[in-house]
Amino acid sequence: MISNIYIITLDGVIRYFKSFFGADHANNDIVSFLTLITRVSKKIEGGNIRSLNFENFNFVYTYGQQDYVFIVTTDHYDPEDEVMYKLELVKEEFFKRFKSGLGTGKDQGAQIRDFGNFIESNIIIPPKILLAGEDGVGKSTIMNLFPGETVLEIDDDMNEIIEKTVKISDLEGINEFIIREINLTDLVENFSNYKPLIAKINIICMVTNSGAGNLSKTRSLYSRLKERVKNIDFYILANFQDSVNSAFGPSKINESFGLTTFGFSAIQGNSREQINQIIKNILEISILKKNKNVSISSIKEIKKY
């Protein structure tokens, strides 16, 4: 996800800053670093910097008129072309709104608030969750618990992916997520066909029926999949917890897989509320806490220089 937006000049003046994860002002160390790198790139033949890649995050750049530089901090797994598209939207909107310069006093405040509203509506890259499981484990039933239109997406390799875009509230910096459904065996056995899909996924939630047979096969498939997948968080959604005579509990499954496991029953009366809370918990762990930690680590990494 995009976590911060900086609009600065080559002289290091901050024209606009927005953080989606709590910070209310730009860190001076980061701004100084970004300004220095930008100035150096201007003096080196070969063109401007497009991105800086660190271990856990990236800075992506685009340049505008009047020596303005537009920079975002993103997760290392965010596709750069998608991030750049969003950043170009910000640049276009900024110059359209402020071509005559910022106003003063109340006018300036209103302008900035309106621009901030535009950014919140257009710049966020929704987290993408993949529901992966065998036939009969309840993936489609779970998908149907989420509101919104189900879309059958066909990628460039003619692979069919079922997905929904789901609105969400009460999570800082996240107002929607994209959830997709896929057969786990198909994903593992034909992994090369799904590389473009996996490249855009933040989280894989493996759905099981909580019985011994399915858990054993899922564990085998997971061991093959995790060797091919980098920088994606895995979780277990242990469905059919209502089958008290055959279902293993979440703690036992957690111990077996070494993954955070959420118990679930898609046929319970409050299943919709339960799955929404589970997804919120997953997003909080994998997106919100991780992005806050990235912001802290980015300052530490930059101070090394």
Domains and CATH numbers, the chain: 2-124 (3.30.450.70), 128-290 (3.40.50.300)
Residue 134 has pLDDT above 90, yes or no: yes
CA–CA distance, 247 with 3 (Å, rounded to integer): 40
State yes or no: pLDDT of 34 exceeds 90: no
Tell me the pLDDT tens digit for each residue of 164-184.
999 888 877 788 899 999 999
Characterize the bridge pairing of strands 128-133 and 203-208: parallel
Q: Between 100 and 140, name the one with better pLDDT.
A: 140
Mean pLDDT of the 237-241 span: 91
Summarised one tens digit per residue, pLDDT across range 62-78 is 888 878 889 888 877 77
pLDDT at 106: 54
**CA nearest to 208, candidates 218, 193, 221, 196:** 218
CB atoms closer than 10 angstroms to residue 45: 4
pLDDT of 237: 95
pLDDT over 70 percentage in the chain: 85
- Local confidence band at 102 (pLDDT 50, 70, 90 cut-offs): low
Confidence label for 305 from pLDDT (cuts 50, 70 and 90):
very low
Provide, rounded to the nearest whole percent, the portion of the chain with pLDDT above 90. 28
